[in-house]
Amino acid sequence: MAYPTFTCAYEKDHNPVLDAEAERWFQQARALEKVRGVKDWQTIVGLYEKAIAKDHWKAMHNLAGLYRTGWPGQPGVEQDTSKMLDLYERMVKLKVPLGYYDWAVVAEHGRGILKSDRMASSYMFQAAQLGNPLAQVRIGNYFAFQLPKDKQDEEMAERYFRCAGAQDSPEAIIETAAFYDISKENKPRALFYYQRAASMGSTTGFSYLSGVFSAQPKPVDDFGYQPNIKLHELYSDLWKKLRADRNLRFPNLMVDHPLPPHPKQGFDAEHPDRRPEL
């Protein structure tokens, strides 16, 4: 995979505008999907299809996901690879960044089409160029970890991770945190991203935050921080609340509870006196 010059793009700047009525149908479908127990798949699919008729790309992605795996029910959603591919193709035609990423994953695994690493790489790069954060971290991981040791490019990897980490994808932010932890060994910046992911409702983020400051039992990896019972209890309590209600978000977490400096690396291994910025 050879990529041209790096460009940091944000997905929000490239996503097509969503029709207001289609968005209401989409949100109704999402609410029904979150209902515990038996789900009304017929109504859910119908709402997604109505939204899709107005080019609602989020509905395309979600419905394609249902067709990818199929879901049991009375009636359920029958697995249908052909319908999944049609929806992903439609997203690409609309130039939706997530559509390029979805198609890259399909080509990578050969789901319904001939497996092609070249096609997967091409679509993954196009997704990253359009700002998809999941594609950006995939490329970042490629430069940081998947090349032979003598050809790894940490500087290029960091550019992709920084770009992805500045967006609102908890999954991509978690990957960015892992990069700073493993590749850069920058513990305070890694924890900064775990906290940012936690603020967006990531249980993984809270797991790290709670563990880092725990005293009993001693965490597997404390990132070099000292135990802090107050912070441990804070993050454990928020983590518990999030597990009870996965819709919770904590937008003021990073402002109300700024992380303490690392005992050796300060606020950032490269800039000890300066708090990390996106």
The per-residue pLDDT for 219 is: 62
Q: Hey, what are 196's tokens?
A: 């940012």
pTM of the model: 0.92
Range 4-31 average pLDDT: 95
Provide the 8-state DSSP code for 262: B
At residue 77, the pLDDT reads: 95
Do 170 and 253 meet the contact criterion of CB atoms below 8 Å apart?
Answer: no
Q: Tell me the residue type at 16.
A: P
pLDDT tens digit sequence for 173-192: 999 999 999 999 999 999 99
Chain CA centroid to CA 7, Å? 19
Measured at the CA of 21, the angle between CA 49 and CA 71, to 5 degrees, comes to 30
Phi and psi at residue 77, to the nearest 5° = -115, 120
Beta bridge partners of 262: 266
Q: How far is CA 148 from CA 151, 175, 221, in A?
A: 5, 20, 27
**So what's the pLDDT on residue 218?**
66
